[in-house]
Amino acid sequence: MKVTIDGITVDVEPGTSILNAARQIGGDIVPPAMCYYSKLEGSGGKCRTCLVKVSKGSEKDPRPMPKLVASCRTTVMDGMEVQNITSPEVIEARKGVVEMLLINHPLDCPVCDQAGECHLQDLGYEHGAAKTRYEFDRRTFEKIDIGDKIQLHMTRCILCYRCVFTADQITNTRLHGILNRGDHSEISTYIQKAVDNDFSGNVIDVCPVGALTDKTFRFKNRVWFTKPVEAHRDCDKCCGKVTLWYKGEDVIRVTGRKDVYGEVEEFICNTCRFDKKKTADWTIEGPRKVSHKSVISANHYETMKPLPVVKTNPLLQEANKEQFERETRL
Amino acid sequence: MGRKLLLQHINAPGINTLDGYRQTGGYAAVEKALKTLSPDDVVEEVKKSGLRGRGGAGFPTGMKWSFLAKPEGVPRYLVCNADESEPGTFKDRYLMTKIPHLLIEGMIVASYALGANTSYIYVRGEMMPQIRILEKAIAEAKNAGFLGKNILGTGYDLELYVQPGGGAYICGEETALLESLEGKRGNPRIKPPFPAIAGLYGCPTVVNNVESIAAVVPIINEGGDEYAKIGIGRSTGTKLISASGNINKPGVYEIELGVPVEEFIYSDEYCGGIANGKRLKAVVAGGSSVPILPANLILKTINNESRLMSYESLSDGGFATGSMMGSGGFIVFDEDQCIVRNTWNFARFYHHESCGQCSPCREGTGWMEKVLHRLEYGHGKMSDMDLLVDVSKKIEGNTICPLGDAAAWPVASAIRHFRDEFEWHVTNAAEATTRNYGLANYADPLPKVEKTEA
């Protein structure tokens, strides 16, 4: 099946969503997605950031779709033509959605552990306005404790439902869900239960914002001062393939390996995530490749493209690499 | 005097019981359909009648039925949407309270047409008395052999269940209704797939409004062609209108589609004019979610033709100068009513009823409500009107279900037509808390010049 997105044609399997077709092309034309998660069945369609315009329905029925559609939940038809960043209407609608997502967000990025790897931060940076038009108190919630491993900050939540799908599909018991309705909806456990089972930690990885964060990493460090390293171990519960986040010689956080869209390649268990925080527990594979656009790569690694005015110094790079390997091998 | 099809025998004694209903010719449609017509014939009759969905969208019912997928070995369902919660609409409740058997008869015929052996009536949770009435009526019908196994010896089986909802407005949206019926949180589903392909429990399902299903009975009794003769153009048949507000005789009226709005408001047969000798200021023609219109635009279209109570005429002029038929919740405002306060009230309702699933509606409805609250209580700014229009535009069309549109339209239309009044609330903030803006120029004859220039 052929689909054309912003003038670029790509061949895809029948049943592919517009978003995944765009991801096959890659680059700027990929719509942002806050709630869709390719590994979770039924996710998507809620945040409305991935809205696109279908200017030609298909080869058979060339009528355009009357409304903007959520690209993550719309399957492509043969000959479909989609406009994403080439349509002013889409850009305008997306700007509106980002504004809506931010009006009740606390914007406490300076104290939020997710800062630096937060999708809402990126989205706001790319599509948001510098000033808000919202002049009312932001909504707040009563704080609830959901256990000793996971921290819930409900005020930051954008209600993407990803963690609910994760608990449904990855773990065997779902203890949390969405309570209430409208802008009072909240992620909560019914009558203060702790969210605790072998794979519950994955809700941290799927959360696009800082609503669910790792309590063992809480306030330890800003993410851009840490060094991500790929590592694995033999685990009887999960694949054991993780990213270790080093601060000096200490592993201060363990997460799943996230791809360029922030989706983990494979879900990991709580033992790997919370209990194995020594270098000796892991087999190091090497530094993690981080997009040079990301703030996380602000400090290091050969993947970072230096500014054009700075000449590359292969000798120095080599020396740095050696030093890094020496230090991380231990 | 217009023809009455649904409420013809409303005052017959004992019409709420099976015997009383039978005496007025009740269940003739079941006997006619099951004994003499094939399911496809029934669908064909409904198609011929031109019946359009009475729940709000006005989609042709016969066409909706013919879209139903019919895979082998998979059950099909008919669900009656009795989750009537639109502010200003109370026709279904009236119908279910007074003539429950009409709905049940319609359900039997419609289920037969669709080949459904299990059908549900999803009733809003607040309507507990109506649920009791329906359950009693179903028991009566079952004893008389109109429900259950082998109905009237024709070999057709049907079980009919009443399901109370939790009382959420959003569960009136068909996919949210199905979710709720399945026992889940009432969040609207993402379409496609449409319920006609995968609805209740993943099976093909048709969801129809109470009035649409009840209207099947006269269609079968009299024939689709006869039914199509009533009404005007593509708006065929009769429609129940819930008239409320500042009128002399509020209540449920059955009208032949095509009655002039002016006649409907002022004639003694219907609303009987504005109460207390006041003047008409504005009308919400089809329930809270349709655009509000000032007096001059509701009585005449922009081309100075008389506006009629029909799907086409009410929406004449699009969103700029028209409104919609909606579910028939006809709310009349006299000169003493404050449009700002009313708009705030509607916005508060949608804020409260948003399911919170998709972001524009979840956040935007609350935002609009807060701005309107500020305007109503004299803390508004001149920029608020543009802000509201902009926010409503960002919600409209960008949400999963039509609740976002329903929340955006009344706000956008109120500002479009009553901007003076909103501005007066900002400039005369102190005065606005003690008195109303009044009629101003909202009933003036329409200017003709603008139109010819364009």
CA distance B167 to B123: 9
Is residue A134 within 8 angstroms of chain B, CB to CB?
Answer: yes
**Distance in Å, alpha carbon of A266 to nearest chain B alpha carbon:** 27
The tens digit of pLDDT for each residue in B310-325 reads 999 999 888 889 999 9
Q: Is the pLDDT of residue B452 over 50?
A: no
Return contacts of A254-257, CB within 8 angstroms, 24+ apart: A255/A204, A255/A205, A255/A214, A256/A202, A256/A205, A257/A230, A257/A288
Put simply, the answer to whether A99 touches B394 (Cβ < 8 Å) is yes
Q: What order of strands is seen across the sheet that includes strand A227-232?
A: A250-256, A241-247, A227-232, A283-287
pLDDT at B1: 65
- Residue contact A97–B399, C-beta within 8 A: no
Contact B424, B433 (CB under 8 A): no
A100 in contact with B at a CB cutoff of 8 Å?
Answer: yes
Length of chain B: 454
Any B CB within 8 A of A180 CB:
yes
How high is the pLDDT of residue B451? 45
For residue A44, what is the nearest residue in chain B, using CA coordinates? B190
């491993």: which residue's tokens? A149
Contact assignment for A96 to B394 by CB distance below 8 Å: yes
Q: Does B393 touch chain A (CB under 8 A)?
A: yes
Residue A139: list chain B partners with CB under 8 A.
366
What gap in Å lies between CA A60 and CA A10, rounded to an integer?
18
Q: Which CATH superfamily is domain B18-229 in?
A: NADH-ubiquinone oxidoreductase 51kDa subunit (3.40.50.11540)
**Considering chain B, what is the average pLDDT of its residues?**
93
Nearest CA in chain B to A134: B367
**Among candidate residues B170, B144, B146, B169, the one with its CA nearest the CA of residue B158:** B146
Residue A74 burial (CB count, 10 A)? 22
Identify all chain B residues contacting A104, using CB atoms and an 8 Å cutoff. 363, 366
DSSP string computed for B357-422: -SHHHHHHHHHHHHHHHHHHTT---TTHHHHHHHHHHHHTTSSSSTHHHHHHHHHHHHHHHHHHHH
How many C-beta atoms surround the C-beta of residue B273 within 10 A?
18
The chain A residue lying nearest B364, using CA atoms, is A100
Chain A contact for B355 (CB, 8 A cutoff): yes
The partner residue sitting opposite B358, judged by closest CB among A48, A139, A178, is A48
To the nearest whole Å, the CA of A282 is away from the closest chain B CA by 40
Chain centroid offset of residue A32 CA: 10
Contact A329/B at CB under 8 A: no
At the top level of CATH, the class of B339-432 is mainly alpha
Partner-chain contact A104 B358, CB within 8 Å? no
Give burial (CB, 10 Å; 0-12/13-18/19+) of B146: buried
Walk me through the domains of chain A, giving residue ranges and CATH numbers: 2-96 (3.10.20.740), 104-217 (3.30.70.20), 223-329 (no CATH)
**Where are the domains positioned within chain B?**
18-229, 241-334, 339-432
Q: Residue B448 pLDDT more than 80?
A: no
**B85: contact with A, CB 8 A cutoff:** no
Q: Is the dihedral of CA B193, B194, B197, B200 positive or negative?
A: positive
Provide, as residue numbers in chain A, all residues whose Cβ is less than 8 Å from the Cβ of B397.
Answer: 67-68
Residues β-bridged to residue B247: B274
Put simply, whether A18 touches B (Cβ < 8 Å) is no
Whether residue A46 and residue B359 make contact (CB cut-off 8 A), yes or no, is yes
CB of A113 closer than 8 Å to CB of A217: yes
**Token pair in block for residue A50:** 């991935």
ipTM > 0.85 (yes/no): yes
Please identify every stretch of chain A with a pLDDT value under 70, giving residue numbers as ranges.
299-311, 330
Chain A interface includes B352 (CB < 8 A): yes
At A191 the pLDDT is: 72
- Give kind and range of the element (H or E) at residue B208: strand B205-209
Q: What is the pLDDT of residues B18-43, one digit of tens each?
A: 999 999 999 999 999 999 999 999 99
In DSSP terms, A186 is beta-bridged to A179
Length of chain A: 330
pLDDT tens, position by position, B218-249 = 999 999 999 999 999 999 999 999 999 999 99
The CATH code belonging to domain B241-334 is 3.10.20.600
pLDDT score, position A255: 95
Cβ pair A244, A282 in contact under 8 A: yes
